[in-house]
Amino acid sequence: MRRYWLLFSQAVTVLLAAWFVVATLKPDWLRSAAVTTGTGVALVEAPTPANAPPPVGSFRQAAQRASAAVVSINTSKAPPRQQLNDPWFRFFFGDQGEQAQVGLGSGVIISPEGYILTNNHVVEGADEIEVTLNDSRSTQAKVIGTDPETDLAVLKIELDRLPVITLGNSDALQVGDQVLAIGNPFGVGQTVTSGIVSALGRNQLGINTFENFIQTDAAINPGNSGGALVDVGGQLMGINTAIYSRSGGSMGIGFAIPTSTAKQVLEGIVKDGVVRRGWIGVEPADLSPDLMETFGVKARHGVLVTGVLQNGPAAQAGLRPGDVIIDVAGKPIANVSELLTTVAALKPGAAAPFKVQRRDASLELNVTPGQRPRPRAPVR
């Protein structure tokens, strides 16, 4: 009997020592304990370490880094004056014409000074702009400048301790890269959706004058306009701006303006109040068999000049109708969209070399671009 008692006491001592070591070094192991609910049912809870890493494949960290800098934008605009004074409008529709028109969108804080990037169509014509941060703070914003040709606008708010997003290199994006879209769709509150980069360099969509969109299948819906498209590191890759939809909701085809374009617009607006772009005063056209026959063109690639503005920069440099622009400042030109974008990137007043094919002759002309005239607001 004494022998059994001795074995029992030694076993208990070893178990208590083991429990003490585990409780001291690995207390989380002991948290998976049975908990009795009010109904008398015993449940087993999994351990929840305070600093547990995110599950494999989770975008938690990217969303947390970027979401704080994405804001909701609410706009209001007074109704057109002609509606208020039109007796027939009031007869058929009552006094609803006196109600302010409201809009909804998103934006991204890109500097501690309070500068916010969003879409021009979000704030266009707005009389009041209210910005709500992810931490529930709200304030009025003022428009610093807009660029309708890229559908971008820069706002400014006056608040302290502002979260700021990190700008990424959108030129390094590749088709298939994972991205997140962050915004306030339909006004339900901040939402994060995930997808991949479906295509790059989308243009000729008829949305903006200058188009170089990132296409993504991350869900983008009304209210997401002006929100952030970020990579898996939470860095800003683009500003969500448009969707292709037949129903008004996401169909897996969304478009974002690359950060490289947004940065140029931001710097131009903050520094000069406007975006200064190059302009040469020509009417370009993509090469086609009919045009090549009409103008007697021998070139097989480039952009055909069908018209030249009298006394414009191109005319003064010697460009003529029928010339084919092959290269601008060392960059090959394949279509009208590339010519428009490349010329716009030139500095007004600084001469740039243009390689031109004129029938059988190859020429190099130095063209000094002027400043591109400010366009009328596009009809969206």
Select which of 67, 170, 225, 337 is catalytic.
225
Q: Phi and psi of 295, rounded to 5°?
A: -95, 0
Select which of 67, 72, 147, 151 is catalytic.
151
151 is catalytic: yes
Specify which residues 167 forms β-bridges with: 236
Q: Output DSSP code: residue 175.
A: T
How many Cα atoms are found within 13 Å in the side-chain-facing hemisphere of 359? 4
Q: Are 228 and 236 in contact (CB under 8 A)?
A: yes
Comparing CA positions, the residue from 155, 68, 167, 147 lying closest to residue 114 is: 155
Cα 173 → chain centroid: 13
Comparing CA positions, the residue from 46, 20, 15, 48 lying closest to residue 33 is: 46
Q: What does the alpha-carbon distance between residue 227 and residue 76 come to, in Å, rounded to a whole number? A: 19
CB-based contacts of 101: which residues, under 8 Å, 6+ apart? 76, 77, 78, 79
Place of tokens 């609910």: 37
Select which of 67, 72, 106, 121 is catalytic.
121
Amino acid sitting at position 7: L
Q: What does the alpha-carbon distance between residue 16 and residue 23 come to, in Å, rounded to a whole number? A: 10
Q: What does the alpha-carbon distance between residue 233 and residue 219 come to, in Å, rounded to a whole number? A: 19
301 is catalytic: no
CB-based contacts of 369: which residues, under 8 Å, 6+ apart? 278, 279, 280, 313, 343, 346, 347, 348, 349, 350, 352
121 is catalytic: yes
Instruction: Write out the catalytic residue numbers.
Output: 121, 151, 225
